[in-house]
Chains A and B, each alone.
Chain A
Amino acid sequence: MILDSIKILFHQGKQFIDDPTKVEVPGIFRGRPVISTASVDNEALKGCCPLGAISIDAEGKASLDMGKCAFCGLCAKKFPEKITFTKDYKIASAKRENLIIHEGVDAPVDFGNEAVNPVIKKTFGKSLKLRQVSAGGDNSCEWELGATGNVNFDMGRYGIEFVASPRHADGVVITGPVSKNMARALEICYDAIPEPKIIVLAGVDAISGGVFEGSEDLDRSFIETHHIDLYIPGNPTHPLTIINALLNLRG
């Protein structure tokens, strides 16, 4: 009996990722976008994004807001000379405005350390327990948040875990655009977390409402009225993006 189990264990080989801050993702992962200075039909470029993530400023320069982007890659397909998606998965930031990618800039996303409350680093440096709240989430970001704890990603090695009770948590990770019907439960959950506490938004739906923005069944007042400590873009957000974002937040 036990020999069978040992055999199975042996057959798995090594599964964990040695260093989730350095590993490369396989395939055609759509991570941090880069906007070239090539000149294209700006109106068409702006109009091609189904979620309105691309803007053109007064000087005709393009920018892409990852907080609104579903990473569908449509802009890169239509304007390959203008927009490319790199495999850089470290795309989260403590500052909302840092999610905006500007034309001609191909640099890592500025995490915005200056915006992080020093109490967070001091208190949660070795242990960070989070309560996840899905508020209209489509179970894709929830799925990837769950994957951070599996044997491949093993976020637990850094002392970062999801817990059952808000009383045991140091913060809340929100997924989904915040449906009206979940607004009150979210508020109650947040209130139950002892101070100091953080709010993390995971996925495009949580950050901007995503494809559901403007739906009358949403109530985003919680997000609008609270200080957000961390924005993690993606649709859904990749486990490596989540792990790196949380590690950066703790410094």
Chain B
Amino acid sequence: MFEHLYINNAETIDFAAIPQIADYGEFSSYIKESLGSVSRHCVNFFGVENTIAGKVILIVCIADDESHKIEVFSHLCDKNAVLAHCGVAALERYEREIHENFGITFEGHPWFKPVRTAADDYPFYHADSEEVHEVGVGPIHAGVIEPGHFRFICSGEKILHLEIMLGYQKRGVEKLLVAEAPLEKKALTAESIAGDSAIGYSNAFAMVNESLCGFSPSEEMLYARTIAGELERITIHTGDLSAICGDVAYQLGSAVFGRLRTPIINFMQKWCGNRLGKTMVRPFGLPYALTPSLRDDLLDTLAKFEKDFREMSHKIRRFPSVLSRLEKTGVVTAEQAREIGAVGMAAKSSALCRDIRLSHPYFKYDSLTHEPIVKHHGDVYSRTCVRIEEVYQSLEYVRSLVAEYPFGTHKAQPAQNMRPNSFCIALTEGWRGEICHCALTDADGKFVSYKVCDPSFHNWMALALAVRGNEISDFPICNKSFNLSYCGHDL
């Protein structure tokens, strides 16, 4: 056996301190054994090119919800090595990514489908039958959304199988974050990984950079970042409720939720000059402090928002023609959610409590005694209810944080250099779920590897499972109820 290493969220350690399991069989069976417990799930699994030519280090990060720690361990293998699939479904996409980047093969893996290479000649899963038909959608979709390809196999109107092909959005984010560039440029890159989660991403990016430098952010920075993160959750959940109503042709809900998003994003613009909160968070500083007049504006905005939000969400939860479309549609069972390693909102809608704000608290979440909203049916309605109730919860959090906000206490501190040969992992709970950033520095204290994992990386499989047995006309509503990220997945 080996010496276990458990670290905290946003803790920096020496790279050399990460335990290495020499035998792949032992490494793989430990992963499987470790993930056997429901309180543990894999937050990142990736390869890093080693200084020894032709070698790759595989690093696994497993979050333990009970101890609030993250276990990290590794295995050194050859490039193009032939290893065995560890037998955990939740890791299959990680293994495909490692295969794509390093040519390592995991024998027994059912499906070496490309993760981020949109190949024209990719052989989609195909049913050779005259009874069923196939429907291809995308990469360009009907609405103003991002690209991805969906291939359905249907029997009449019923979906038997959905295969999702991604990778169209690949921009090479991880390489850009490692390349020589000023911190400000990297911060812009980090918040553009997924523009709808700019705060969640820039919070994680700031945590990694600050931790690697041994920098402790001021209390005011922590408050501002936590408030911004919760406002982002309110904004996007509200917008998604509008889209869900739109997809079931409920015009009133779509219009009201759609317009309710506007005052919150306009407040973000008053605070930081950008409706989506871009430029709001920067490592080592507080570019936009909250002021008492902004606070008053915010409280007033939230009060007006809540009144109308309550009225509208009360209505949709009791409106038969909406409920009949949402209930029992797109079900992901608790077992399925667990097996595929679902995280965040998608997991919480299927009775699986995964919320970094509770399990690995950061910023001000340790003082908020966060209780995640968990629903049990795993259908579109559960995902709708999680959104509605998370909005109420975030409203309360923002109010309580604003009430104790330490106005004007932030003092600028100089940025320091990053620690050489170190490793840091940061987890934040974006509105979709956990956003994971892992960084490694070289002997000069520069990034040598920067690995990002969006919640959608875990959750795309949930959508593929959710639509099975549903009518193809319910696909849009299923898709919208998850609202997964294409660019966050494709990087």
The answer to whether B184 and A50 touch across the interface, beta carbons within 8 angstroms, is yes
Q: A12-B308, A27-B270, A143-B276 are in contact. Are A182 and B139 (CB under 8 A)?
A: yes
Question: Is B443 in contact with chain A by the CB < 8 A criterion?
Answer: no
Q: A12-B308, A26-B269 are in contact. Are A211 and B146 (CB under 8 A)?
A: no
Question: Is A229 in contact with chain B by the CB < 8 A criterion?
Answer: no
A236 to B192, CA, bound (A): 10
For A11, what are the chain B residues with a Cβ–Cβ distance below 8 Å? 307-308, 311
Q: A164-B142, A180-B170, A217-B172 are in contact. Are A138 and B269 (CB under 8 A)?
A: no
Question: Is A28 in contact with chain B by the CB < 8 A criterion?
Answer: yes
Taking CB atoms and an 8 Å cut-off, the chain B residues in 171-194 that contact chain A are 171-172, 175-176, 181-182, 184-185, 188-189, 192-194
Question: Is B154 in contact with chain A by the CB < 8 A criterion?
Answer: no
Q: A164-B142, A176-B169 are in contact. Are A28 and B270 (CB under 8 A)?
A: yes
Cβ-defined partner of A179 (8 Å) among B144, B169, B308? B169
B313-356 Cβ-contact flags toward A at 8 Å (1 or 0): 00100000000000000000000000000000000000000000
The answer to whether A217 and B170 touch across the interface, beta carbons within 8 angstroms, is yes
For A74, what are the chain B residues with a Cβ–Cβ distance below 8 Å? 184
In the complex, which of the residues A134, A151, A152, A165 has the most CB atoms of chain B within 10 Å of its own CB atom? A134
The answer to whether A27 and B269 touch across the interface, beta carbons within 8 angstroms, is yes
Question: Is A119 in contact with chain B by the CB < 8 A criterion?
Answer: no
The answer to whether B176 and A212 touch across the interface, beta carbons within 8 angstroms, is yes
In the complex, which of the residues B146, B272, B279, B312 has the most CB atoms of chain A within 10 Å of its own CB atom? B146
Number of interface residues of B (CB under 8 A): 62
For A50, what are the chain B residues with a Cβ–Cβ distance below 8 Å? 181-182, 184-185, 188
Q: A73-B273, A138-B195, A182-B168 are in contact. Are A26 and B266 (CB under 8 A)?
A: yes
Taking CB atoms and an 8 Å cut-off, the chain A residues in 224-251 that contact chain B are 235-236, 238
With CB as the reference atom, state the residue of chain B lying closest to A134.
B146
The answer to whether B259 and A12 touch across the interface, beta carbons within 8 angstroms, is yes
Question: Is B408 in contact with chain A by the CB < 8 A criterion?
Answer: no
For B267, what are the chain A residues with a Cβ–Cβ distance below 8 Å? 27
Question: Is B393 in contact with chain A by the CB < 8 A criterion?
Answer: no
Q: A136-B170, A151-B255 are in contact. Are A162 and B278 (CB under 8 A)?
A: no
With CB as the reference atom, state the residue of chain B lying closest to A9.
B252
The answer to whether A181 and B117 touch across the interface, beta carbons within 8 angstroms, is yes
For A51, what are the chain B residues with a Cβ–Cβ distance below 8 Å? 185, 188
Question: Is B218 in contact with chain A by the CB < 8 A criterion?
Answer: no
The answer to whether A72 and B278 touch across the interface, beta carbons within 8 angstroms, is yes
Minimum C-beta distance from A51 to chain B (A): 7
A23 to B484, CA, bound (A): 34
Question: Is B258 in contact with chain A by the CB < 8 A criterion?
Answer: yes
Question: Is A167 in contact with chain B by the CB < 8 A criterion?
Answer: no
For A133, what are the chain B residues with a Cβ–Cβ distance below 8 Å? 140, 147
The answer to whether B172 and A216 touch across the interface, beta carbons within 8 angstroms, is yes
Question: Is B275 in contact with chain A by the CB < 8 A criterion?
Answer: yes
Question: Is B118 in contact with chain A by the CB < 8 A criterion?
Answer: yes
Q: A5-B252, A73-B273, A144-B275 are in contact. Are A184 and B120 (CB under 8 A)?
A: yes
Question: Is B73 in contact with chain A by the CB < 8 A criterion?
Answer: no
Taking CB atoms and an 8 Å cut-off, the chain B residues in 133-167 that contact chain A are 139-140, 142-147, 167
With CB as the reference atom, state the residue of chain A lying closest to B146.
A134
The answer to whether A179 and B171 touch across the interface, beta carbons within 8 angstroms, is yes
B199-212 Cβ-contact flags toward A at 8 Å (1 or 0): 00000000000000
For A25, what are the chain B residues with a Cβ–Cβ distance below 8 Å? 269
The answer to whether B487 and A137 touch across the interface, beta carbons within 8 angstroms, is yes
Question: Is A139 in contact with chain B by the CB < 8 A criterion?
Answer: yes
For A189, what are the chain B residues with a Cβ–Cβ distance below 8 Å? 140
For B118, what are the chain A residues with a Cβ–Cβ distance below 8 Å? 181-182
The answer to whether B171 and A212 touch across the interface, beta carbons within 8 angstroms, is yes
Taking CB atoms and an 8 Å cut-off, the chain B residues in 253-307 that contact chain A are 255-256, 258-259, 262, 266-267, 269-276, 278-279, 287, 307
The answer to whether A8 and B312 touch across the interface, beta carbons within 8 angstroms, is yes
The answer to whether B172 and A212 touch across the interface, beta carbons within 8 angstroms, is yes
For B188, what are the chain A residues with a Cβ–Cβ distance below 8 Å? 50-51, 70, 72, 211
Taking CB atoms and an 8 Å cut-off, the chain B residues in 350-398 that contact chain A are none
With CB as the reference atom, state the residue of chain A lying closest to B255.
A151
Minimum C-beta distance from A228 to chain B (A): 19
A89 to B12, CA, bound (A): 43
21 contacts between A and B (CB under 8 A): A7-B311, A25-B269, A26-B266, A26-B269, A27-B266, A50-B181, A50-B184, A50-B185, A134-B169, A136-B169, A140-B276, A144-B275, A145-B144, A146-B143, A177-B171, A182-B139, A185-B168, A212-B171, A215-B175, A218-B171, A235-B278
Of all A-B residue pairs in the complex, the 8 with the closest CB atoms, nearest first, are A140-B195, A27-B270, A138-B195, A50-B185, A164-B142, A217-B172, A181-B118, A50-B184
Which chain B residues have a beta carbon within 8 Å of chain A's beta carbons? 116-118, 120, 139-140, 142-147, 167-172, 175-176, 181-182, 184-185, 188-189, 192-196, 198, 239, 242, 252, 255-256, 258-259, 262, 266-267, 269-276, 278-279, 287, 307-308, 311-312, 315, 485-487, 490
